[in-house]
Each structure stands twice: as C-alpha cells, then as structure tokens.
C-alpha cells in the first residue's frame, strides 16, 4: 500500500522546501514510522498535497535515494529502502547534544557557494533586468534563453575545448534536471541500461535509477574507468567523469580515453561526460580538453554552475550531438527542464562581461591556498593517509590505512563537531578501501588545520582501532 505522508512545510521559516521535505521523510524513516519497503506517494501526488512544485519533491526524493533511505523500484514507484533499520529514539544528555554541534563541515559540497561574488552577480543581474524585453518574461524556452546558450557555447569552447554551437547547447535547471532529461530520453530510444563509475557519485546513480535506468557499476582505477569491464557489461551508454573523477580525482589517461572513444564508435554507444569543475583546474600541467571535442557525435558533455558559483543558482547544461536532438526536443516539450529566464539572462551577462572568468581566477587562487593548507594538515595529523584528487574542484580524496574503521571515524569526528564524508557511500560493489572525501573550499587555513587535527585525534581514539602508523 501507499503511505499517506503528513508533512508540514513552513514557507516562512527560511529553510528551503526541498530540505524540509527531505528532513521530514528522513525523520519518519529513522523513527520507524515509515517501515522498510513502504511505498511513498508519487512525486506528483505529494507535490499536490503540499502545494509545492513537483521538482521540489523530485529533488527531495532524489537526495533520499542517493543517501540510501529510499529506492526507486521500476514499475512500483518509490519505496523505503529494504535495508533500513529504524533507530530507537533516546534522550541525550545536554553535554552530548552540545558536542554534536557543527564547527567544521568538510563534506565535498559544503564549500559550494561560500565564495559567491555577490557584487559582480548583482551588477550582471541589474544589467540583465534593465535590458529585459517583454518576451523574456513569458514562459522560458524549453532549453534556455538564446543569449545564455550562445554565451555558454563560446565559454565552454574557450575553457575546456567543447565543440558545440548554441543549437547543441541546452540549458537546464541544474545538473539534476540535465541527468533526468538524459535518462528519460535514452529510454525513449531503447537504452535503459547505463554504465556508472564505481566508485562514483551516489546522487548521480540515484537520479538515473529513479528515471528508469538500470545501473551497471564499472570499476575505476588509476587510469580512469575500466573500458574492458565496460564492454563486458553490454551497456550502450555510460556516465563518466574523465577530467576529474568523483570521488578519487583521477584524470583519465590518454590511452584510456582512446579506448573509451573506440568502444563508443564500435558499438554505437553514448558517452555522458560529466564535468562539474572544468574551470577550477589548479595544476601547472594543462587541463585535459573535453572528451566531447574528440567525438562530438558520440559524447554528451554535461556541466553545472553549482561548483563555481553555488547550487542555489540552478543552472546546468548539456552539449549534445545533433542526432540526439530530436528525442531531447520531444521530451523537453513534455516536461519542464529549464529554470527561470531572468537568472539565465543574468548568467549570460555574467559570462559576456568577463565576470565569470574573473571569478574563476579568484576561486583558483583561493583554492590553491586552501589545498596547500590541507596538504600540510594531512601530512602533520594524518601522515599515513594518501591524499589525491585535488587537481581541480573543491575536494580531495584521502585513502586510509586498511585498519581504520571508516564508519567509526565519521561518527567520531561528528562527536568532535567535524562533518566528513566517508568514501564507502560512493561505492556500489564490493568492500571499498576506507577513505574520506574532504571538501576544503569552505574553511580558512586555520579551520582546516583544526578540523584535520580533530580527525587525527579521532583516529587514535576509535574503539578497537590502533592509531595510524606506517604500513608497507
């Protein structure tokens, strides 16, 4: 049976509606009110019940799926995950509750938006509003206003080498909307099996599964996704992050890129190239150009403004091969995937006036300082952890010695007011190596040192685990 959800949303609280719905359902699950395998209302029904946009409910469901609380069952809707065990409520001493307050948030997305360029964005927005025309205030085009599609095509070609004109550059309301569009469109052309990197981004897996894709985990090694394993899976589409793999930070090797492109051409398969942080490359060596540049007929390039500006902007994009345009157009005509026109016009002005380039330069400079601080802090307080993955973006990957209990470390760090993300949530199959995915952009140097010191102290105090020591 479908459980009727009695959720109250407070539009005056200042908390995002998506977060309110997410938190309310999570509480019902952990308290045991929503039992494992309980079917939830459809996103359309719950949106109608709460009088909110359906996209708000879809995003809340997607987050809960990615976090393991819900599962999307094909043909049966969305259900509470079968493996969930309710946590009995118990009163906590006041001093313990105080210890749970957060001082340092090192989760990988925590720094997104911290350095938002308020004055520059306001200037771009004001210029866009002053020049707005009446048609701009009508229903937005299915895949974004022409001004932004034109500016994005030029910017992506200049920064990461994408080969796509405005007609092949589609604007969506964030990357989640872009992945929903692709998942639905691929099903329309008979593709409902999708290769995904393992480890990879849990949120991406959740969205693709929710919208009808059967996922096939493909291992990632030091050279990138394993193309031989991909070929054995028999899939006709794959989601991959060649420039800066999440969470390991691996950059796909030249040989592996050639193997992947050869696989796509030989089998007629599609490559979905996800690039969240192409404009935040911080290494001295040149950033690899987009894979799409080498095979614009087989590669869909997907990106977002969430990393460079913040997830609240809700702007994502796809650069698509012309042969996929007809099905994307049909799906886009049936559902809304683009955001509001004024934000898009402001972002177009932000790019056109050079403000995005200036902001990216500032972000790279700030992140280099923080990356160096993180490297020093890890060397001092977690000397046996292996740090990688910080060539671009706002996070680093810390591999831990085998004897470290990752779950106990994450819980213990929370008790010291430090939020961190364990690497196991990114893996689908098999017992992965214990690791942490550390977002470092949101803290100053002093905060990074203090947070990493707290993690190092936690490692030494995890019950039944020895302190970090040298292992051969």
Is residue 9 predicted with pLDDT exceeding 90? no
215/75: higher pLDDT? 215
The predicted-structure confidence for 96-150, as pLDDT tens digits, reads as follows 443 346 788 999 888 777 788 999 999 999 999 998 887 777 777 889 999 999 9
**pLDDT for the residue numbered 121:** 95
Range of 189-198, 330-339, 453-462 with top mean pLDDT? 189-198
Cβ atoms of 382 and 413 within 8 Å: the answer is no
Output the CA–CA distances (angstroms, integers) from residue 165 to 144, 153, 343, 383, 404, in the order listed: 14, 6, 21, 48, 49
Distance CA 116, CA 363 (A): 9
| pLDDT at site 123 | 95
DSSP 425: G
The residue among 19, 139, 68, 162 whose CA lies nearest residue 428 is 68
pLDDT: is 20 or 255 the higher one? 255
Q: What percentage of the chain exceeds 90 in pLDDT? A: 56
Query: 112: closest CA among 241, 344, 276?
Result: 276
Higher pLDDT, 49 or 343: 343
- Distance (Å, whole) CA 97 – CA 78: 33
Mapped onto helix, strand or coil, the DSSP state of residue 412 is helix
| pLDDT, tens digit (0-9, with 9 covering 90-100), for 256-301 | 999 999 999 999 999 999 998 888 888 888 888 999 999 999 999 9
Is the pLDDT score of 235 beyond 50?
A: yes
> What domains sit in the chain, N to C, each tagged with a CATH number?
17-90 (1.10.10.10), 98-111+361-461 (3.90.1150.10), 118-353 (3.40.640.10)
pLDDT at position 6: 67
C-alpha–C-alpha distance, residues 384 and 169, integer Å: 45
pLDDT tens digits, one per residue of 150-194 = 999 999 999 999 999 999 999 999 999 999 999 999 999 999 999
Angle at the Cα of 433 from the Cα atoms of 429 and 439, rounded to 5 degrees: 105
CA dist 464 → 131, 399, 404, 409, 461 (Å): 65, 20, 10, 12, 8
Q: How far apart are CA 337 and CA 209, in angstroms?
A: 18
Q: How far apart are CA 435 and CA 421, in angstroms?
A: 9
Q: Please state, in angstroms and rounded to a whole number, the distance separating the CA atoms of residues 295 and 127.
A: 37
């Amino acid at each position: 049976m479908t459980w009727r959800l009695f959720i109250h949303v407070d539009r005056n609280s200042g908390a995002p509606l998506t977060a309110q719905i997410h938190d309310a359902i999570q509480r019902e699950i952990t308290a045991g009110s929503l039992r494992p395998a309980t079917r939830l209302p459809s996103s359309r029904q719950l949106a109608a019940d709460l009088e909110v946009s359906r996209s708000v409910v879809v995003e809340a469901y997607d987050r809960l799926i990615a976090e393991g609380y819900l599962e999307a069952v094909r043909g049966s809707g969305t259900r509470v995950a079968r493996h969930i065990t309710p946590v009995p409520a118990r009163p906590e001493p006041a001093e313990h509750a105080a210890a749970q307050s957060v001082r340092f948030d090192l989760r990988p997305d925590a720094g997104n938006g911290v350095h938002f360029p308020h004055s520059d964005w306001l200037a771009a927005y004001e210029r866009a509003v002053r020049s707005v025309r009446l048609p701009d205030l009508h229903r937005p085009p299915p895949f974004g206003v022409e001004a932004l599609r034109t500016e994005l095509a030029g910017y992506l070609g200049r920064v990461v080498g994408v080969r796509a004109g405005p007609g092949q550059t589609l604007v969506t309301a964030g990357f989640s909307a872009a992945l929903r569009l692709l998942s639905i469109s691929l099903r329309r052309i008979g593709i409902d099996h999708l290769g995904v990197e393992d480890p990879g981004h849990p949120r991406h897996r959740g969205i693709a599964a929710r919208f009808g894709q059967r996922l096939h985990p493909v291992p990632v090694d030091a050279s990138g996704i394993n193309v031989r394993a991909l070929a054995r899976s028999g899939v006709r589409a794959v989601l991959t992050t060649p420039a800066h793999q999440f969470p390991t930070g691996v950059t796909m090797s030249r040989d592996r890129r050639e193997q992947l492109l050869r696989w796509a051409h030989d089998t007629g398969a599609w490559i979905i190239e996800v690039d969240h942080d192409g404009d935040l490359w911080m290494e001295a060596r040149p950033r690899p150009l987009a894979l799409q540049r080498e095979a614009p007929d087989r590669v869909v390039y997907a990106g977002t403004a969430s990393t460079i500006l913040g997830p609240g902007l809700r702007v994502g994009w796809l650069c698509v091969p012309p042969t996929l345009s007809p099905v994307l157009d049909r799906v886009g005509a049936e559902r809304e995937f683009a955001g509001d026109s004024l934000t898009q016009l402001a972002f177009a002005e932000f790019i056109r006036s050079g403000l995005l380039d200036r902001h990216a330069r500032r972000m790279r400079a700030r992140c280099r300082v923080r990356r160096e601080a993180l490297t020093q802090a890890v060397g001092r307080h977690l000397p046996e952890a292996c740090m990688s993955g910080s060539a671009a973006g706002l996070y680093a990957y810390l591999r831990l010695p085998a004897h470290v209990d990752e779950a106990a470390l994450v819980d213990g760090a929370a008790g010291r007011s430090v939020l961190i993300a364990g690497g196991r949530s990114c893996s689908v199959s098999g017992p992965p190596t214990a690791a942490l995915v550390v977002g470092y952009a949101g803290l100053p140097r002093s905060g990074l040192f203090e947070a990493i010191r707290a993690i190092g102290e936690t490692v030494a105090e995890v019950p039944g685990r020895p302190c970090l020591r040298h292992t051969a």
